[in-house]
Chain A
Amino acid sequence: MTNLEIYNNAFKEAFEVDEAQLAGLEYQGIAAWDSVGHMNLIALLEDAFDIMMDTDDIIDLSSYEKGKEIMAKYEKNI
């Protein structure tokens, strides 16, 4: 799987959304991405990429696009 596929799968699993809904997706933009959904997403991303995210990055990950920038900090280019 490519990094992009891994990244997308985490979002799809956390929020039960389709690939088509991912672009532009934002925190609190859909009901599933609330604070509970956010924890789920982070846990899935950390697991899938085998990384440990800093607290600031966990808070900053406020959109699908922003998350890609943050993953790059952990050497996961998407």
Chain B
Amino acid sequence: MPISSDKVQVLCGCNDLDAMTAQCALPPFSKVVCEFFSALSAEIMKHPEAKQYPDVVTFGFFCRRGNIQRLKDEYSDKISNRLGRGVSFHIAPSNVPINFAYSLAAALLAGNSCIVRASSKGFRQIGLVCECIQNTISLVEFREIASRISVICYERSREINDRLSALADVRIIWGGDATVTELRSSPLSPRAVDIAFADRYSLAVMDARAVIDTADLKRLAQDFYNDTYLYDQNACSSPRLVYWLGDNEDTASAAELFWEAVHKEAAARYHIEPVVAVDKYTEACRMAIEHNADIRSGKDNLISRIVVDSLSADLPDHRCAGGSFIEYHSSSLDALKTIVTKKYQTLSYFGVDRQTLMQFVVGNGLSGIDRIVPIGKTADFSLVWDGYDLIMQMSRVIGF
């Protein structure tokens, strides 16, 4: 049965559902899959347009031979009695263009065939990576892979969700609570499993003095931009709260320097959609009324700063995207103790010792914060994501 129809567009790979479901599973990190990624990496890195998209190059870099080998080595003693579950069905988030590619990579590395629904927002990054995938699977040595990949897009459709869910052995739902709830209404077969990524909330901790003293403010601003604006601030790992460590005076100077540098990046690279601009303004007003926040939006609304003098437990409900930041400052991290819940995912940092942060999370038994990474690294993909080991979850164990 063909996958494509008037409702489903195949962006790259196989168009035959029967052929896909007929594939036998592969062991995790099989030779042909590892070689495929190495060839795909080369294809992406040499693509003339790739350089314009840091997220695409980063994915190409992730797929390179050395990195896949390193990952394989990390798993080597855990995968000898494992096989992929079979067919994986992925629902990638609509706002993080490159996410579909990492989801596909994890599932293919685990040994599965992959039907991946990519964002239908028409991001060039998706087209570009699909072009590279198509070129790579067209090579004769990757014929085996060609019938294991299908990247598709379709507008929301219960009917198509139902059909693809029914044949999946593992379903990976990105995109947060609403998407998870929507997809859960499409039944899986009895043996199949769901990996669902719920809404999360992330924050950045910066030492004010370190920001004032840094010799490379531009780099910090670029890193912060890549963590936030690059994904419209919609990635679950994108910081929404900026927590300054420092006294009044240092924080004021550091914040001024920092936001000015971020503004330069955003002005050069970020295009704000009118609807996002309105949301940002509305949210800032709401925060001003409900939390007595001090609003510092600048004249072009590229950065919406919402400065608060106390942190409330309902911060994760403030989900405004596109460059809207809650800011708070304190001489210690203590204010986080009372507000961090299971919703909190990534803590990114600058100028703060990572061991101190780890000690803070572990020592206080915080119920949230699953990752501690430097600013600029929040979107770095890892096979352990959001508390799941994707290779383990997407393969089955043969007990013997």
Residues on A facing B (Cβ under 8 Å): 28, 35-37, 39-40, 42-44, 46-47, 51-53
Contact = CB atoms under 8 A, between A and B. Distances in A.
Nearest to B41: A43
Pick the 4 closest A-B CB pairs, nearest first: A52-B66, A39-B61, A36-B57, A46-B66
Nearest to A32: B51
Nearest to B55: A36
B198 interface: no
Chain A interface mostly: helix
A17 to B, nearest CB: 15
B160 interface: no
A36 B54 contact: yes
Interface in B39-71: 41-42, 45, 51, 54, 57-58, 60-61, 64-66, 69-70
A47 to B, nearest CB: 7
Given A35-B222, A47-B42, A40 B65 contact: no
Chain B: interface size category: 10 to 19
Nearest to B54: A36
Contacts of A39: 45, 57-58, 60-61
B219 interface: yes
A28 B69 CA distance: 29
B57 A46 contact: no
B60 A52 contact: no
Contacts, number: 35
Contact of B64 (A35, A36, A43): A43
Nearest to B67: A52
Contacts of A46: 64-66
Given A40-B45, A43-B45, A51 B66 contact: yes
Interface of B: 41-42, 45, 51, 54, 57-58, 60-61, 64-66, 69-70, 219, 222
Given A39-B57, A39-B60, A52 B69 contact: yes
A45 B299 CA distance: 45
B54, B64, B219 — most chain A CB neighbours (10 Å): B64
Nearest to B53: A36
Contacts of B51: 36-37, 40
Most chain B CB within a 10 A radius of its CB, from A43, A46, A53: A43
A52 B54 contact: no
A52 B65 contact: yes
A52 B70 CA distance: 8
Q: Max chain A CB contacts within 10 Å: which of B58, B66, B70?
A: B66
B199 to A, nearest CB: 29
Nearest to B61: A39
Contacts of B54: 35-36
B59 to A, nearest CB: 10
B48 to A, nearest CB: 12
Contact of B219 (A28, A37, A40): A28
A39 B54 CA distance: 10
Contacts of A43: 41-42, 45, 60-61, 64
Contacts of A53: 66
Given A43-B60, A43-B64, A52-B69, 16 more contacts: A28-B219, A36-B57, A39-B57, A39-B58, A39-B60, A39-B61, A40-B45, A42-B61, A43-B41, A46-B65, A46-B66, A47-B42, A51-B66, A52-B65, A52-B66, A53-B66
